[in-house]
Structure 1
Amino acid sequence: MGENSAGPRIAGQTSPQDAGQQSIALFFIPGAEPQLYAIDNWDPLAAAGVISRGIIAEIDGELTVASPLYKHHFRLRDGICLEDDSVQLGSYRVAFDGDTVLVAGAEKF
């Protein structure tokens, strides 16, 4: 497991991680393998917690979420931005335990 980074910043702006909080976007995609994904909700390019409101799409065989603000795509499996691979969201191991979703620590690939 790696250290979670909020990514690029604009001077004077902070992310939820700065305040000791963590906002995670969960995606349940029936029929996909795996069906459950978790990545940071904080979009470092837009400096906003909006990833959970993005649109899911398959691009070149990869499940992605498009940020609703600038429309850049992040892979659900590892959080890498398709338009700029130097930008990466934290990704989390997730699993169902009955009706509960279990989330493990952040990973950087």
Structure 2
Amino acid sequence: MNNDRLPLSWTAICPLDDIVPNTGVCALVKGEQVAVFHVDNGEPEGIVYAIENFDPGSQAAVLSRGLIGNLGERVVVASPIYKHHFDLRTGECLETPGYSVSAFAARVENGQVWVEI
């Protein structure tokens, strides 16, 4: 993603209840596809993460459809095509660091998911 085009700002994505726990959705933010994930961490609202939706390995916008899990201490999403694992905190691709994607700040406020891009 090219973050040089517009200044960073918070964008409302959807109500948290619209994202089933331990799944992701795709949102169009400032013309870019963002994968937003709701991870059940045992807290009432869980935690949300946001990364680019584009998978460099498969050249497809599919990361929001990947499977969420853990590899050691890392919370990851596995791409649905080649199963590369992306750290949801950093966007790092664990198998091929050159395929890493951007990660964005995300939060829940008053039941609404917000992403900073």
Return the TM-score normalized by structure 1: 0.73
Per the alignment, residue 38 of structure 2 pairs with 28
Of Structure 1 and Structure 2, the greater strand share is in 2
The RMSD of aligned alpha carbons is 2.1
Alpha-carbon distance in structure 1 between the residues aligned to 2:103 and 2:69: 17
Alpha-carbon distance in structure 2 between the residues aligned to 1:72 and 1:31: 23
**Whose relative contact order is higher, 1 or 2, with alpha carbons under 8 Å and at least 6 apart?**
2
Per the alignment, residue 72 of structure 1 pairs with 84
Deviation at 1:44, TM superposition (A): 1.2
Runs of 5+ in structure 2 lacking a partner?
Answer: 4-29
Number of aligned residue pairs: give it. 89
Alpha-carbon distance in structure 2 between the residues aligned to 1:79 and 1:28: 15
Alpha-carbon distance in structure 2 between the residues aligned to 1:24 and 1:74: 14
Per the alignment, residue 104 of structure 1 pairs with 116
The secondary structure found in structure 2 opposite 1:86 is: helix
Per the alignment, residue 66 of structure 2 pairs with 54
* 2:107–2:115 Cα contact (<8 Å) kept: yes
Return the TM-score normalized by structure 2: 0.68
The secondary structure found in structure 2 opposite 1:68 is: coil
Percent of matched pairs sharing the same residue? 37
Per the alignment, residue 89 of structure 1 pairs with 101
- 2:79 matched to 1:63? no
Alpha-carbon distance in structure 1 between the residues aligned to 2:99 and 2:60: 15
Alpha-carbon distance in structure 1 between the residues aligned to 2:57 and 2:98: 11
Q: Letter of the aligned partner of 1:59 in structure 2?
A: L
Runs of 5+ in structure 1 lacking a partner?
Answer: 5-19
The secondary structure found in structure 1 opposite 2:64 is: helix
Query: Once the two structures are superposed, what CA deviation does each residue of 1:23-79 show, in whole Å capped at 9, x if it has no partner?
Result: 111111121687110001111111111001101110021010000001110000000
Deviation at 1:3, TM superposition (A): 5.0
Q: Letter of the aligned partner of 1:22 in structure 2?
A: E
